Amino acid sequence: MTSSGTGERTVDDGSRGTRAARIVGIDYARFLALAGMMATHLWTWQPDGGTPALSAALQGKAAALFAVLAGVGIALSTRRAVAEGRVSSARWAVFGRGLALLVIGLTLGLFPGSILVILAYYALTFWAMIPFLRVPSRVLLPIAVGWALVWPPLLQLARAELVVPFEVGSASWLDFEDPLRLVRGLLVTGVYPVGTWLVYTMVGLVVGRAVLAVVAEPARLRALGIRLAVIGAGLAAVAVSLSWLLAVGFGGLERLAEARPELGAAGVAEQFLAEQFGGPPGGSLWWLASPAPHTGTSFDLAITCGTSLLALGLCLALGAILGPRTRLVLAPIGAAGGAPLTVYTAHVLAAGLVDALASLEPWDDGLPWQVSSLQLWLLHVAGALLIGLVLALLGRRGPLEAVVAWVARRFARLGKGEADAAPAAPSGDAPPGDVQPGPRRLDG
């Protein structure tokens, strides 16, 4: 999916001549995801050693929203080709998008900085979604739910032998020194294992199809947004409640404290709620009841899917009721959200450069504001808005988005000579201490 600076969306199946349809709510949601990830990167540590409330609340949720939106984007970009039975073209286009993301991600991983770049993991997630392009939503959604239940114990078992929190962080071209380790890390033992992020993109694909079914009618789009927001809020609330019930009501924390006496009850409770690096702690199945971000547990997945649906639903409802003048005022937000790859790359490079410069001087007076602070976060948000303003004034998509779309079109041509199946049936509607920074910062 590509965008112009005014928030005008193009449903692009990899070929030219597609017709634009305005879905500004998706751009607004993407901007929220970007701003949230920036907060978790840049405003993470305070002088007293604590974590700012905003960053703590957004941990895991901003990146999950972005992953759900990736699934929405897959639905939009393949809609026409799948509906016309050109499934091979659609699959090749998604492959091309993933390949372009992989090249950009591996290159971005070469640059210094504390941010753990997620793009290489996203790329493989795109590839993993190719078999699901024609799976009806009424089948795909149960698959996503089932995978969210089955995957976490498998993830915990697969990572049980790790002696470090994660095997692969920001994947780069240098990791090809050990290709097996790289693939294993991207799929299972890294900070953003594809097996986990697949749940979000499946949900996003279902939501994207539902959006396409009502996009031509603002009233129905608004109703869908409200319905998604209610479902998301309810899902997150239920997941939090069930996690608490298992941990406290059924004695999960007590069992963990007995298994880890060196941590004590307080230490176990702290770790139970602490952000992890791609998977749950090992040693006991009770860790799978944790609701903590980036644990990949069923409860983490349910909570972050819920908050993603809540945010996306509200943005869709808002976008459906805004008039032309208001959209014009919000054009920088929409354009920045329509160029997420460009904004994200600029953000990672800028943060990495500042990190490198800050590390050259001793931090005798505490953590420099250039490394972690409210003002640093606001500067990056302002930078994103500046990029959006420029793109809106020029009426152009982001440069990296243009590259990805170009690659997708070229690969889509590979499928034109292949015999495709008959047009897909309708997919169905979606249901309603020391002040030193840690070694790495996760993507929201």
The helix (run of H) or strand (run of E) holding residue 319 is helix 298-321
* DSSP for 321-358, written as a single string: H--HHHHHHTHHHHHHHT-HHHHHHHHHHHHHHHHHHH
Full-model pTM: 0.88
Q: CB–CB of 71/202 below 8 Å?
A: yes
Among candidate residues 433, 342, 316, the one with its CA nearest the CA of residue 68: 316
Residuewise pLDDT in 10s, the chain (444 residues)? 333 333 334 444 443 333 334 589 999 999 999 999 999 999 887 766 677 888 889 999 999 999 999 999 999 999 988 888 899 999 999 999 999 999 999 999 999 888 999 999 999 999 999 999 999 999 999 999 999 999 999 999 999 888 888 899 999 999 999 999 999 999 999 999 999 999 999 999 999 999 999 999 999 999 999 999 999 999 999 999 999 999 999 999 999 998 888 888 899 999 999 999 999 998 899 999 999 999 999 999 999 999 999 999 999 999 999 999 999 999 999 999 999 999 999 999 999 888 777 766 766 566 677 778 899 999 999 999 999 999 999 999 999 999 999 999 999 999 875 545 444 444 443 333 333 334 456 666
Q: CB–CB of 27/335 below 8 Å?
A: yes
The helix (run of H) or strand (run of E) holding residue 8 is strand 8-10
Confidence at residue 52, expressed as pLDDT on a 0 to 100 scale: 86
Confidence at residue 428, expressed as pLDDT on a 0 to 100 scale: 41
Confidence at residue 238, expressed as pLDDT on a 0 to 100 scale: 98
Whole-number Å distance between alpha carbons of 1 and 13:
8
Whole-number Å distance between alpha carbons of 93 and 75:
12
CA dist list (Å): 143 to 158, 304, 324: 21, 17, 40
Whole-number Å distance between alpha carbons of 310 and 227:
9
Confidence at residue 264, expressed as pLDDT on a 0 to 100 scale: 86
Confidence at residue 330, expressed as pLDDT on a 0 to 100 scale: 95
Confidence at residue 416, expressed as pLDDT on a 0 to 100 scale: 75
Query: How many CA atoms lie within 13 Å of 339's alpha carbon, on the beta-carbon side?
Result: 31
Whole-number Å distance between alpha carbons of 135 and 176:
34
Work out the angle at residue 156's Cα, subtended by the Cα atoms of residues 192 and 266, and round it to the nearest 5 degrees. 95
Q: In what order do the strands lie in the sheet with 20-22?
A: 2-3, 8-10, 20-22
Instruction: State which amino acid sits at residue 273.
Output: L
Confidence at residue 371, expressed as pLDDT on a 0 to 100 scale: 78
Whole-number Å distance between alpha carbons of 130 and 419:
17
